[in-house]
């Protein structure tokens, strides 16, 4: 099973809007990355987000491009949630299903580290707002490896 991780796009400051929706630049960045992923043939079966507005908006853009427009909220993806339950859930998923998780730091950083090197504090990926990371199962071993990173500045 392939796992895609995306940090939400740039959001408004809480002082300007407590809901923290995407800024115009944040929306544009996520749209550019999602479009590039679609052009590269990326297809995602499920697109999940934390339920926070900025993650939901980013997930909807990604889902429209590569997941048939279907984005849904999932508990356990908030910025400071423990990564163990989500890591175990991902490891138990079908080999044929691809899942995208759209969320926040530090959660995504810790989750990626747990999936790749089994150490949530290793900081193996430097996430960028609106960037997309593909993790693929390691052949004949437990865990995942980084297949590629689609950084916003090259999308």
Q: String of b and e for 83-96 (b: at least 16 CB within 10 Å)?
A: beebbeebeeeeee
In this structure, what CATH number is given to the domain that contains residue 58? 3.40.50.1240
pTM: 0.96
pLDDT band at 92 (very low <50, low <70, confident <90, very high): confident
Q: Is residue 34 part of a domain?
A: yes
Q: Is residue 149 part of a domain?
A: no
Q: Is residue 154 part of a domain?
A: no
Count structural domains, the chain.
1
pLDDT value at residue 105: 98
Q: Is residue 120 part of a domain?
A: yes
Q: Which domain holds residue 39?
A: 3-129
Q: Is residue 152 part of a domain?
A: no
- Provide CB contacts within 8 A for 75, sequence distance 6+: 51
Q: Is residue 144 part of a domain?
A: no
Q: Is residue 155 part of a domain?
A: no
Q: Is residue 97 part of a domain?
A: yes
pLDDT digits (tens, 9 = 90+) for 1-50: 899 999 999 999 999 999 999 999 999 999 999 999 999 999 999 999 99
Count H helices and E strands in the chain, helices first: 4, 6
DSSP character for 151?
A: -
pLDDT digits (tens, 9 = 90+) for 106-115: 999 999 999 9
Report the percentage of the chain scoring pLDDT > 70. Answer: 99
């Amino acid at each position: 099973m392939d796992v895609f991780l995306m940090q939400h796009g740039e959001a408004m400051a809480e002082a300007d809007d407590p809901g923290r929706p995407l800024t115009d630049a944040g929306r544009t960045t996520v749209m550019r990355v999602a479009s590039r992923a679609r052009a590269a043939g990326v297809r995602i079966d499920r697109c999940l987000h934390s339920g926070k507005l900025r993650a939901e908006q980013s997930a909807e853009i990604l889902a429209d491009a590569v997941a048939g427009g279907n984005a849904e909220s999932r508990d356990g993806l908030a910025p400071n949630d423990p990564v163990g339950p989500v890591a175990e859930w991902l490891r138990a998923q079908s080999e044929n299903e691809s899942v995208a998780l759209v969320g926040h730091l530090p959660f995504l950083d810790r989750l990626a580290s747990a999936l790749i090197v089994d150490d949530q504090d290793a900081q193996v990926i430097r996430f960028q707002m609106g960037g997309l990371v593909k993790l693929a199962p390691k052949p004949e071993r437990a865990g995942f490896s980084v297949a590629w990173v689609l950084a916003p500045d090259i999308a």
